[in-house]
Structure 1
Amino acid sequence: MFFEIPDRLMPGHPFPMGATYDGQGVNFAVFSANAGKIDLCIFDAAGRKEVARLPLPDCTNEIWHGYLPEAGPGLLYGLRAHGPYDPHRGHRFNPNKLLIDPYAKLLSGPLRWADALFGYRLGSPRVDLSFDRRDSAPALPKAVVVEEAFNWGDDRRPCVPWSKTVIYEAHVRGISIMRDDLRADLRGTFAALANPRFIDHLLKLGVTTVELMPVNAFMQDHFLLGRGLRNYWGYSPLSFFAPEPTYLSKGGLHDMRMAVRRLHAAGIEVILDVVYNHTSSGNEKGPTICFRGLDNASYFRLVPGNERYYINETGCGNTLNVSHPRVLQMVMDSLRYWAESYHIDGFRFDLGATLGREGAGFDPGSGFFDAILQDPVLSRLKLISEPWDIGPGGYQLGNHPPGFAEWNDKFRDGVRRFWRGDSGQRADFAARLSGSADLFNRRHRKPWASINYVASHDGFTLQDVVSYTEKHNEANGENGNDGHSENYSANWGVEGPTDGRGILELRNRVRRAMLATVMFAQGTPMLLAGDEFGRTQRGNNNAYCQDNEISWVDWHAAQTPEAKSLTAYVGRLITLRHNFEAMQAQRFLHGDELEPGIRDVAWYDERGKELSSDAWQNPEARALTVQRANTNGGDAIDIVLMCINAGHDPLSFIFPDLLSTWYLLLDSAVDETLAQEMRDGSVEVQGHSVMVFANRIPKALR
């Protein structure tokens, strides 16, 4: 210690929450409605020895607070809460258990599993009704007081319009851990995101927005460590304010800020995948590490009339009680902290349906949504929900309030089924190409509300969608019982890797057709990191616990001629999307006439004839031509034509009677850049491929 610890704390203030350094000392404030006393515990610089235990001297409006003069950044601390241990009434106070400050901005390291972490005696016949008196401090990471100052210079949010947005979903560790061109101590950290090579890769692709999988400090689950595995994805939060310690290099918290600043300088936004639906403490048999020990009855949703047990709509043992005003305040404070202290541009909410639950179930007018949408900071950011959970009525795709986008798994499944050749898919495929208007065209929402993807972290990679018919999750140690069994995938002749030239060519064509569909559909396209060059997870569709080469992005594989070709192809797709507003997500299209004979959207068969109602219902039809048009902000009209053949054999397409001249911009069946003039009135489209035409050639292809 570099200061003398007093015998007692000064009263301090109930705001702001957490530990706040003011230049002369540190103010501590923590919520608990049901505690009788809360102690501040001070530790030595190594975090091993508790050197002082001082009660927070005052409580205002259920906020316990105190002030420690002369303390400053680097101070390690924890909390202990006194109160009733009465699980049947929802109370699980145990002052023998050190607790993480819910507002901690930095943790000293990882949690180390020990029996003492549990508030009850493991092995007792009374289970969680028993009481454990061992001190848990040696096993728990300590909160660290931080200094927030950082020179942001002229940093500005890119504020990419939703209609121009192309998302790249990445994992902080996985995206860089295999990069030999980085120093070993930087791989797998925020610092690697600031590397010019990574930023150049994003710019060459044309993506505008990086969506990072959870970066909050998270728990390494005991059952995974017992199998020799690790929590890789990070959906098990220890803290809602502190970054994951293993993602920090020697630059500490500023590594993340520098990464955001450099990405912003390149015009690239940063979105965080955040988890506010549950905590890492599990059900009633889980450890006491934070919220359970501070005020279990307030922080969690408990079963009415039997408060010993937790409502579990998340599948993770507990559900955070965001209906409670102080818990909701904590979530809002966390979001604003990331937005203001780290200049984050938006958030993707894991199990967003859970956050919208009130007493009667999911409500698009819930307090959570209302709080965000009225907030002057958060309401201006990009907001994305994962629109489901496992609770009753948990599937809420399309039902979120205006201002939110949603992950669209119907797009994912529909596109996979169409290109796999399933029967009766043409009408659904057209709906997905049209921004899923059947789901989102209400309450003045825009097509960008549909986040369109064929692969994400959760499920097969794109390469595996065309390489495996069945999931192969043996490495997870769950006897293949985890992960979705229906992936709407196909191996096209051989399960997994093959040297068969015909199979590889077919897989490549299907993969390229799916990528074109994602980029040219109305809505917001999302690309899974590594799909641009064929990353595989060896058939594992639930790689949450694979912190190894199954999940990591292999940059060596990205250097093969085939991988480079696919990467260049993805770049061309995104370039075309950026160059034609008709391919973007400005508004839903209804077939309105822009000039004689030209509508904003029209649908044809391969003969150039408009599709009739009966034709839409033809279950074996796998060919489609869609024409979209846009005034491009002036008098000139851009017209784009997509000829789509999901059948196995080549098919002759006749152009609709719209123009005498078309320019071929893309043939997904070939590699070379195309910009040739077409006057013949028809074209042959290869099986499992897309050809795209327009009435002009963009500068990017000239």
Structure 2
Amino acid sequence: MIDITSYYEGRDLGCSYAPQGSLFKVWAPTASLVSLVLYKEAGHYNSQGLVTDHSNGHEIVMKKDESGVWSCYFSGDLKGLFYMYKTEFMDGTLHYAVDPYAKAVTANGARTAIVDLNSTNPVGWYEDSKPPLCHPTDSIIYELHVRDFSAHGDSGMCYKGKYKAFTEIGLKDAHGNALGIDHLAELGITHVHLLPVFDYKTVNELQVDSHDSSIPLYNWGYDPQNFNVPEGSYSSNANDPLIRIVEFKEMILAFHQKGIRVIMDVVYNHTFTVEDGPFEAFVPHYFYRTDEAGRISNGSGVGNEIASERPMVRKYIKDSVRYWAEEYHIDGFRFDLIGLTDTQTVKEITKELIEEVDQTLIFYGEPWTGGATPLIQQTLKGTQKGEQFALFNDHFRNAIKGDSDGWGRGFATGERGKELEVMMGVSGSIHDFTYCPAETINYVTVHDNLNLWDKVLTTEGLAQEAGLLNSGGGSFGHPLDYEGMKTSDPYKSVNKRNVFTSDTVRRTILANGIVLTSQGIPLFQAGDEMLRSKFGDHNSYRSGDHINAIRWDNKRRFRPVFDYYKGLIALRKSHSAFRLHTREQVEANVEVLQCSGNVVSYMLKNHANGDTWRNIIVIYNGNTEAVEVEVPLSLTGWNVAVNEYVAGTESLEIVYGDMLTIPKLSMMVLYEEKDAKPYPTRNIEIHYERPKGDYEGWNLWVWGKGMREHQVNFEGIKNGRAVAVISALPGARQIGYIIRLNDWEKKDVERDRYIDLGTGKGDLKIIVKSDVHQWRRTS
């Protein structure tokens, strides 16, 4: 392990620009000499989009202080120029390198650009107002890749694959369906989680709009190059260092104006390469974690891992996150493979930014690694307890859907015995790995692995029929991919006239329905609300637009599915019972009703979290047939807000009694209103006459629609007959009964008897003799 004790506390590393002069600072404690190299031009690019010769600049030797920082002040306005650092070491090695704290770069990050950041602020930037957020559990997160959003031909957007696509408003398809950012606003999400939008390595920004299918035009972006600069392939002109910054800010402003916050996917666990990465030219071997043999460790699975536990590495990460939050008004951060970032660093990031920058920022990450790591203090499930950040809940994910790429099933995909695991997730995992619901990110699928539609098709054995490709990591538009897609129909099994008749549709809605009605922070993948397919590509990180682009025509095709998602989101946003804050609230207000028979039902009770509804019941049926589910009896009846076809906040109907029929592969949400009046009862008075007046041990066994089978005892003797009273539910047309001795020792008669209630509203009087059934209405 490298032992460097020098540390710099200042927050002015990089270029501090002003019209009268600019200050340059870079930390390189082991370098023997560092020079600032200024250029008038961006450099000469070769056919691969690289600038390989940086020797023709104006070099200025910098001065080193005791903290290991080299600095140089240059008088005059340098705006529009470019620079590199030239580092030299005692062993004779020499490097020209981009500033690791670069705020702007030329195309493909070849050189650092000197810019006036004030000139990059779009109109309205200083008045930018973040949408309100009271608590992290108020968040509903939508994971999205910038290019996927607009790249397809039917997107309606002009700036395909660009930041500016999010500024295009008022777009509709031929059937009047909102497209683009208006679609997101209509859906009702609170946050969009953007896959990496910092400057990454694998896409040539100079050729990204080429029509040559052999050129890599696409990547998810988990290959960092310049951590503090927006990615240039999403700008309208990657050659202009200012444009990507301006358009990025325009995108943020557009989201905020639509009431949507922005979460940035950040990758501080590794870099694309080591030798050509952003750090090695300045402090060799310091920024990368090593094993006992001194070799660079590979906990990321891609060749290296950042040593976040080292003081100046920790500082770099903290400075970078703060910069995005302050300069770009970013509202939250998702940390890739956060298991490789030491917990102390994560704690300091969240604490300092929440206290010093924005108390409404949210932080979360993947609590795992991509391989073995020597890091001792890994940020895994449980380390987030009480620390104001959340972690992805893979326990809940697997319980709902099964494994990520294969045939493995979960509750929503046909596996029995997952009820308790689902209920644990529904309760915010407070008895699993969290201290409170705000510490869990609930989801079933995200960008990597099979997306939800393809996963469900796979578990149903329909992948081959649908023509799914069963591939991962496409080869940049290889012709075979196109040919495979020509014969693929992911929706072959769907009845287009009534999409809800499809079990695949019902399973996907049930899966995300569980997520959206559980305690914690829900997240789902862009396009789930339109049954998005990636044609079986389970790792589409470079597969291109033909696999990844969102097909907006699916909104028209599957509009009822979109409306269902929209309704569930409105329900969650309108009712605070679904957004509990503390474990004490969960323990006091979440009551489990059933966790068996592939059914999970529970009640949010007593105006949970100040909800306007008195009690709420949520039921999930993972069976392929309808089931009868017992619920607490409500004297006012239960209002149905969500059924198998419709979701929302309004009452669809009122159901009575303590037994409900839940259709197959569906969910139901019911509620009691605060000031509802008790429903009027209709009593059926049964007078039972036996020979010799022998009534000892005899009782009624009663059933009917909305009524569980139960025993009703005779209450007394009147006119020589035993009398019992049954309360009929509103709308009931028939009640069945059997007169029996004790617990089925004997029946009065062998056949079932029924009382026809008709359509009247008055009470009824029934006279029953042994094997004789007479009844008349009372006055």
TM-score class, shorter: 0.7 to 0.9
Question: Contact 1:524 / 1:585 at 8 angstroms: preserved in 2?
Answer: no
Question: Contact 2:296 / 2:305 at 8 angstroms: preserved in 1?
Answer: yes
Question: Contact 1:397 / 1:439 at 8 angstroms: preserved in 2?
Answer: no
Aligned to 2:340: 354
Confirm or deny that 1:295 pairs with 2:283: yes
Cα shift at 1:215: 0.5
The change in CA–CA distance for 1:591 and 1:395 in structure 2 (over 3 A counts) is closer
Cα shift at 1:379: 7.0
Matches within 5 A, 1:219-618: 219-220=201-202, 229=216, 232-249=219-236, 251-282=243-274, 287-306=275-294, 309-356=295-342, 364=343, 366-375=344-353, 376-377=355-356, 380=359, 381-389=361-369, 390-392=371-373, 396-401=380-385, 402-416=387-401, 417-442=410-435, 446-469=436-459, 472-474=469-471, 476=473, 496-499=490-493, 501=495, 505-560=502-557, 562=558, 564-588=559-583, 600-605=589-594
Confirm or deny that 1:169 pairs with 2:156: no
Cα distance in 2, alignment partners of residues 667 and 653 from structure 1? 14
Aligned to 2:88: 82
Give the partner amino acid of 1:247. Answer: Y
Cα shift at 1:604: 2.2
The change in CA–CA distance for 1:70 and 1:585 in structure 2 (over 3 A counts) is same
Cα shift at 1:82: 0.7
Aligned length, in residue pairs: 594
Q: Which has the higher contact order (CA 8 A, sep 6+)?
A: 1
Gaps of 5+ in 1: 1-12, 86-92, 112-140, 357-363, 479-493, 594-599, 606-615
Aligned to 2:26: 30
Give the partner amino acid of 1:369. Answer: K
Cα shift at 1:211: 0.9
Question: Contact 1:81 / 1:293 at 8 angstroms: preserved in 2?
Answer: yes
- Deviation track 1:33-75 (CA, whole Å, cap 9, x = no partner) reads 2111122222332423754241432011111111222242221
Aligned to 1:145: 114
Question: Contact 1:512 / 1:669 at 8 angstroms: preserved in 2?
Answer: no
The 3-state SS of whatever aligns with 2:117 is: coil
- Deviation track 1:336-383 (CA, whole Å, cap 9, x = no partner) reads 111111111111111111111xxxxxxx4x244235423433573211
Cα distance in 2, alignment partners of residues 227 and 301 from structure 1? 36
Aligned to 2:618: 642
Cα distance in 2, alignment partners of residues 647 and 628 from structure 1? 23
Cα shift at 1:265: 2.4
- Deviation track 1:557-596 (CA, whole Å, cap 9, x = no partner) reads 3222x2x111111000011112222222323367766xxx
The change in CA–CA distance for 1:214 and 1:505 in structure 2 (over 3 A counts) is same
Cα shift at 1:143: 1.1
Cα shift at 1:271: 0.9
Question: Contact 2:591 / 2:605 at 8 angstroms: preserved in 1?
Answer: no
Question: Contact 1:654 / 1:682 at 8 angstroms: preserved in 2?
Answer: yes
The change in CA–CA distance for 1:44 and 1:697 in structure 2 (over 3 A counts) is farther
The change in CA–CA distance for 1:24 and 1:263 in structure 2 (over 3 A counts) is same
**TM-score of the superposition, structure 2-length normalised?**
0.71
Cα shift at 1:640: 0.8
Cα shift at 1:497: 4.6
RMSD between superposed Cα atoms in Å: 3.1
Gaps of 5+ in 2: 1-8, 45-53, 171-179, 205-211, 238-242, 402-409, 476-487, 676-779
Cα distance in 1, alignment partners of residues 218 and 185 from structure 2? 31
Q: Which has the larger radius of gyration?
A: 2
Moved more, 152-161 or 467-476: 467-476
Give the partner amino acid of 1:35. Answer: A
Give the partner amino acid of 1:318. Answer: N
Cα distance in 2, alignment partners of residues 182 and 58 from structure 1? 54
Question: Contact 2:150 / 2:157 at 8 angstroms: preserved in 1?
Answer: no
- Deviation track 1:534-561 (CA, whole Å, cap 9, x = no partner) reads 111111121111222211111133222x
Matches within 5 A, 1:125-204: 141-149=110-118, 150=121, 152-160=125-133, 161-178=135-152, 180=154, 184=158, 186-197=159-170, 198-204=180-186
Question: Contact 1:665 / 1:697 at 8 angstroms: preserved in 2?
Answer: no
Cα shift at 1:238: 0.2
The change in CA–CA distance for 1:652 and 1:475 in structure 2 (over 3 A counts) is closer
Structure with the largest fraction of strand: 2
Give the partner amino acid of 1:430. Answer: M
Cα distance in 1, alignment partners of residues 328 and 108 from structure 2? 22
Confirm or deny that 1:216 pairs with 2:213: no
**TM-score of the superposition, structure 1-length normalised?**
0.78
Cα distance in 2, alignment partners of residues 213 and 591 from structure 1? 32
